[in-house]
Structures are given as C-alpha cells and as structure tokens.
Amino acid sequence: MLKAQDWWRGSVTYQIYPRSFMDSNGDGIGDLKGITARLDHVASLGVDAIWLSPIFTSPMKDMGYDVSDYTDIDPSFGTMEDFDALIEKAHGLGLKVIIDQVISHASDQHEFFIESRSSRDNPKADWFVWANPKPDGTPPNNWQAIFGGPGWEWDARRKQYYLHNFLREQPDWNLHNPEVQDYLLGTMRFWLERGVDGFRLDTVNFYFHDKHLRDNPANFLPWGMDAFRPYDMQYCLFSKNQPENLAFVERIRALMDEFDARTTVGEVGDSHHSIELMGQYTSGKRLHMAYSFEMLGPNFSPDHFRSRIEEFFRKAPGGWPCWAFSNHDVPRHVGRWLPHAQDSAALAKQAAAMLLAFRGSICLYQGEELGQTDTDLQFHELTDPEGINFWPDHKGRDGCRTPMVWEASAPNAGFSQANATWLPVKPPQAARAVDTQGAPDSVLNFYRQMLALRKSEADLNEGAMTFLDLPDPILGFTRGEGLVCLYNLSADEAACDMAQTLAPLVSQGVTLEKDKITFGANGFVIARKTAA
C-alpha cells in the first residue's frame, strides 16, 4: 500500500473550473462558496483531490491565467475566508486541494510589471523579459504568441519590447533573475502554509527563454505549415524547454518537500518531444507528476493509447504521468471521439472504464462524469481570446467551459439564479444534468462504479501494465497479476480469442464464450483472471 506521503501516485483528481461550477450569489459567475456547496457531489464520485483553475486576483483577460496578485482571491470568486472554508470542507470530505499556479507570466496589471515598464533602471527593471528592437524597429526575433501575432509587444516608455508567450496582457517573468525565482517561490509558500495540498503548474516548460534570443526554426512536422496559428509553424527550440527550467523545478520540489504529503503536477506542453519532456520533468527530485496532452486530441485507436503509455514508462521509468481525456482547453472527448461510437453514453462509459484503468494518476474534468458535450456557441457569445482571434476556423475553448448542470428544469440548469450567465447554458447540456442521472445505468453512476473499482482493486493502482497483442480495433492490457482490461474502440462489432477464463467485474456490450469474446459497439470488460 502507498504511504500517505505518496497519496498522489495513482490518485484521481477532479478539475473544477471555478467560473462554471456553481454560482452562489446570482451574478452569473461561479464562485468559491458555490464550489463548497457542491463538494459533496465531488466526494460522492470517489475521487482523491480537486484541482481549482486560477482563483487569484486578475483582470480576467485570459480567465484568471493573467494574475495581478498571487496572494489574494479575485473578488468575482469571493474572499480569502471563502477559500479557507472551502479547504476545511474539502479536507473534511477527504479531498485534497490542488490550485493552479501560473508563474511563467503575470498580468500587465501586476504591480511589479507596472514598475518594471516605468523605466530601464527601476528596482524591477529586469523582472520581466525586455529587449531592444532591431535597427529597423522590428521585434528582436521571430517568436510567436500562442494567441496570435508576434510574441513581443512594444512599450513606448522603455522604448523596448517585452516578451509574452500568450496575450500581450500576459508579460513573461524573467526567471533568469534569481530575485524573481525567490519571489515566485514565496507566493507558493504562502498557499502551502494556507493548507493547499499541491499545485498544478501551468505551462511549466515555458519558465525560461534563451538568453541569446535566437530565432526559432520552422516546424518540421507535416502539419506545421497547415496550422491555424503561426505559433504552430515554429519548432519552439529557443522560446521554451530551456535547460535552466529543470534547475528551477528542482527548487520548487525542494520547497514542496518542506511540507508533508504535498504534490505537483506540471503542464508540459510540446508538439515535438512531449513524452521525453514528461520524463525529464518527473525524474529525480523534480515534479511528482507530468500532465499529459497525448490523449487530448482526436486520435482514438488502440495503437495510439498503447504507444503513448508504453513510451512514457520506457523513456521515463522513474517518472510518473497524469493522464486525462478532457480539460478546459480542448473539446470534450465525447464529442471528439463520437465518430467512433453509435451512442454517446456508451462512449462516455467506455472512456471512463479505459482512463480509470490506466497506470498513472488520472484527472477528470467537471461534467465528464455526466457524459457532457461541448456547447455550440455563436461569435457574440464568446469570451475566449483564442476563439475571438481565430474565428470561424477555430472556435476557441468556451465550448468546453460552459456551466456545470445540476437540475435540468431549473434556471440555468441549477448553476445560477442570474438572468444571464457568463457563458450560456443550452438545452443539449442541460439534458445531462446531475438530477437526470439517477438510473443505475447512467453515465454518472458508472463513473462512481469505476472509481470504486479503482480504489478496491490494488492492481488498478499499483499493478504493472502490460499490453496484449490483439486485432484492431481492440485495445487490451493486464494490470498486475490479476486483471484483464479489453475495449472495442469502434462503432462496429468486434471479437478476439481469449484462452484465459475471466470473471467480469464491470462490462458493457460483451459476450464471453469459452475461447472467444464478442464486443458490441464500444463494448468493454474489466475482469479478474480465474483458474481454467
């Protein structure tokens, strides 16, 4: 059994997007009191922890990922007292609390950036990344911003450019400056002393930039030149993934180790070396876990899932992954993978049975347990700068961020009493509300069943994972010495030979014969091996 210090290894974390979880005061925006009021639902699932997307003071240009005060709560979410009450309630329910820590960049309204941009010789002058223009006035290099346009913004007061990997309102900290590192670590200590159990580290491989500001080369991947944003047309060799990053991550780990039973999960995003980076960032005394992007895309094949998991544990035998199928930045997986299914509820259950049987830690995104789908939004309903900038070819992230649905017939499906909410609740989403899922065969009850199975079966937490050579579209693997997990990743009937006698623990649409298993569309079985 795992020691209490290592509770995170094999854990299941439930991601809460605070603006969209529950509104307690009728202003149309979710808040901390609302989260606290609904924590019983989260605890009833059987998860180990919650992850709160950013709740710090922010102008909300990027929905809290632009922080103007790292040690206070944004008024739209409540007060520090509300946060303390949330921590107390969560801990009382046996839930750990992980908060989003965004330290690669700040808001341009942060007091230190306001000071930094005021002159070239103030005490915070080099706390952000400043560079002179080229002789012709253009930016110092070709780095692009993720939300479109150059990664540099001209500032007339300093007559220099500052770096921003995201919005121009999100200037990058200069972590080459040790004082900046000390300041950011101090803000993390503040929350650890407040009782948080860990951090989800946003864009953890973006912390350092190349000091020489060398141009990024072109993206050599086939899809690079077909990308909808210029950022993806570059191989970001110099704008992120710098060696200094790992030394700073070790400083973060040293801070975490001063406290009992705390954890870190780093968002390691890269289109070229993501598995290798996940290994680097979780080896030795670095991060506890790396959050993977590998399963957040359209690929839904046995080979894809097998290759990602096998490659991680081959290349990073001492590291630890955190797998997810959905989050606040990508279309929900039920919609992404629906072409491989006949029925969305059957697909949602299969996805849960698969994800919650993987070796590693797991992250679920709010509403996933309802089989939720993306909301189809019109341009005037958008708030996400990515969607606004790249419409209509890319509609951004708002579709997966719409409010959680609690009671199908209540105003705004029970999320809020407001006349209008920050993003709308529409009928297709309301139809999947919590109060509609009381039937034993609902998606919600299946998630509870799978989470209970993961907790009760030691092999699903600690057992080795060995893949089976089975015909496409069947994915199969064993966990430990006792469990076999089989999935038909298609909308058509499929079958495979299986000499082992199995005793099903959970299944959907399967027929077990003497030497053969037949699967219906998105059929699966998790079974215990028995004597022949």
The residues annotated with a catalytic role in the active site are 202, 258
Asked if 504 and 526 count as a contact pair (C-beta separation under 8 A), the reply is: yes
What is the SS3 assignment for 526?
strand
Q: Which of 45, 38, 44, 14 is nearest to 414 (CA)?
A: 38
| Tokens found for residue 81 | 């007292």
CB count in 10 Å sphere of residue 383: 17
* Strand spans (E) along 317-387: 321-324, 361-365
| Tokens found for residue 127 | 């706390």
Q: What is the rounded CA–CA span in Å between residue 243 and residue 198?
A: 24
DSSP assignment of 245-288: HHHHHHHHHHHHTTSTT-EEEEE---SSSHHHHHHHHHSSSS-S
Cα Dmax for the chain: 79
What long-range pairs does 387-390 form, CB within 8 A, spacing at least 24? Answer: 389/147, 389/148, 390/148, 390/228, 390/229
Q: What are the CA-CA distances from residue 337 to residues 300, 331, 341, 344, 446 (Å)?
A: 7, 10, 7, 9, 19
DSSP character at residue 369 = G
CB proximity list for 493: less than 8 A, separation 6 or greater? 518, 519, 520, 521
Q: Of how many residues is the chain composed?
A: 532
Secondary structure element (H or E) that encloses residue 51, with its range: strand 49-52
CB proximity list for 315: less than 8 A, separation 6 or greater? 275, 276, 279
Q: What is the rounded CA–CA span in Å between residue 103 and residue 184?
A: 7
DSSP assignment of 156-191: TTTTEEEE-SS-TTSPBB-TTSHHHHHHHHHHHHHH
